[in-house]
Amino acid sequence: MIDLRSADEVNRMRAACAAAARVLNDLASLVVPGISTAGLDAAARGLMLRHGCESACYGYVVGRLTYPGYVCISLNDEVVHGIGASDRIVAEGDLVSLDVVVRRDGFIGDNARTIQVGQVSPDARRLCQDTERALLAGIAAVKPGNRVGDISAAIQASLTPGGYGIVRDFVGHGVGRKMHEEPQIPNFGKAGTGPKLLPGMALAIEPMVNLGTHKIVMAADGWTARTQDGKPSAHFEHTVLVTENGAEILTLA
Ligand code: MF3
Ligand code: CO
């Protein structure tokens, strides 16, 4: 069952997503050489207070593990779910992926962005540009009557020319009162397949793209996913609402 949001719920999703976008935007401006990822995490905590929301990541439980950070901060070859640490210092040339998931008034807003710190390698720059473009290609496929597979196929098609590794072990998702709801939204797949999109569905679309292999390995902390070959990874995400004639991006700052 994929929930359809009522008018009241849509407004509450809009507010949660606007808060998530503001937190991400403000946090992105703090990403400069010399700041630690623990410093960024602490800043995120403060920004959430200021923007009237709370972290949906902090205390999030998967199996026997509890996520200890307020936002996910993933550097370079880290794909997703990196944890802020005082001895991880942001440096010129790094890719810093920030994933901000907040709760406000009972609803979730989820968005992510990869920041290029100063001058990054041409390959890393291209990876970021193409991953953001893939997110927009996926969003362009959102309209009533289309299917989840149309989003997946559009993302995959936009990435094919670049020869990237599209992460398969993590996917986009429905979002609402919970961070992860139905449907799953893979970043690869066949057009015309999967559940039909209907007005009122809220979807988190989030291509995770690697410069090399799509394969990932999990760190000993149980959370941090990194690329198997050590090459960089990028991640862009918006929460969108399916409308009568297309999509409304709820996490535009
Ligand atoms: N946007 C991430 C996701 O959808 C957020 C994970 S929060 C964590 O998986 F607590 F699970 F890390
Ligand atoms: Co997400």
pLDDT tens profile 125-151:
999 999 999 999 999 999 999 999 999
Whether the link from the prior residue into 183 is cis, omega within 30° of 0, is yes
User: Which atom of ligand 1 is least distant from the CA of 81?
Assistant: 12
**Atom 8 in ligand 1: which residue has the minimum CA distance?**
57
Question: For 198-216, how does the pLDDT look when each residue is reduced to its tens digit (9 = 90+)?
Answer: 999 999 999 999 999 999 9
Q: Structure pTM?
A: 0.98
Question: For 145-198, how does the pLDDT look when each residue is reduced to its tens digit (9 = 90+)?
Answer: 999 999 999 999 999 999 999 999 999 999 999 999 999 999 999 999 999 999
In contact, 204 and 211? CB cutoff 8 Å: no
Query: Structural domains in the chain?
Result: 7-249 (3.90.230.10)
Is the C-beta atom of 72 inside 6 A of ligand 1? yes
Is the C-beta atom of 24 inside 6 A of ligand 1? no
CA–CA gap between residue 50 and residue 53 (Å, rounded) = 8
Ligand nearest to the CA of 44: 1
pLDDT at 220 over 90: yes
Instruction: Check residue 253 and give its pLDDT.
Output: 78
Reported as a pLDDT band with limits 50, 70 and 90, residue 60 is very high
